[in-house]
Amino acid sequence: MAYIMVDIEADGPIPGDYSMISFAAVVVKTGLEQSFYATLKPISNNWIPNALKVSGHSREQTLDAAEPLVVMQDFDRWLTEEVKERPYFISDNNGFDWQFINWYFHHFLHHNPFGHSSSNLGSLYKGIVKDTYKDFKHLRQTEHTHHPLDDAKGNAEALLIIKQQYGLKIKL
């Protein structure tokens, strides 16, 4: 299994009614050399200005982005070419990130190469340190900027540190 750290930015709280405007994925292994990043044209006329503002994109910029079908085809191809094992989805907030990636894959490609499972990095860390009030964010090396590639990379760095410093049994 290959762990793929994913982060998305959206212009609203749910897929379908709102749009995923950008996302990134990083293969979690030493060096973090394999990554994917894309921006997507909105699929809906609905958008929440404050949600979009977090990403640093304007509505006009999002309207000039790539077609979602093409982006999801490119992401699917990247996963096939870059990941020789079964890809496994993990993110800082998989309840949010997973719903968009899953919806977009099924809506545009009628399948999700990640299958039906995902993991939450924060929950994993809480279990390792046996404290539901602790978070892993101090383990990030790359600054959390709300650019999906920075955020996915920082979260992947944290997972590598959890493996190294806390003895997490995980094949990366």
Does residue 90 have a pLDDT over 90?
Answer: yes
CB 91 within 8 A of CB 121: yes
The β-bridge relationship of strands 35-39 and 20-27 is antiparallel
Does residue 168 have a pLDDT over 90?
Answer: yes
Residue 59, pLDDT score: 96
Going by pLDDT thresholds of 50, 70 and 90, the confidence category of residue 18 is very high
Domains and CATH numbers, the chain: 2-166 (3.30.420.10)
Residue 92, pLDDT score: 97
pLDDT digits 0-9 by tens, 50-79: 999 998 999 999 999 999 999 999 999 999
Overall average pLDDT of the 120-145 stretch: 97
In this structure, what is the dihedral angle of CA atoms 106, 88, 51, 70, given to the nearest 10 degrees? -50
DSSP 139: G
Overall average pLDDT of the 22-49 stretch: 97
Going by pLDDT thresholds of 50, 70 and 90, the confidence category of residue 5 is very high
Average pLDDT, the chain: 97
Overall average pLDDT of the 24-46 stretch: 97
* Residue 21, phi-psi category: left (phi > 0), alpha (psi -120 to 50), beta (remainder): alpha
Q: How far apart are CA 135 and CA 31, in angstroms?
A: 23
Clarify whether 144 is annotated catalytic. Answer: no
Model pTM?
0.96
Catalytic residue (one of 57, 110, 146, 147): 146
Going by pLDDT thresholds of 50, 70 and 90, the confidence category of residue 172 is confident
**Secondary structure, 3-state, 104-147:** HHHHHHCCCCCCCCEEEHHHHHHHHHCCCCCCCHHHCCCCCCCC
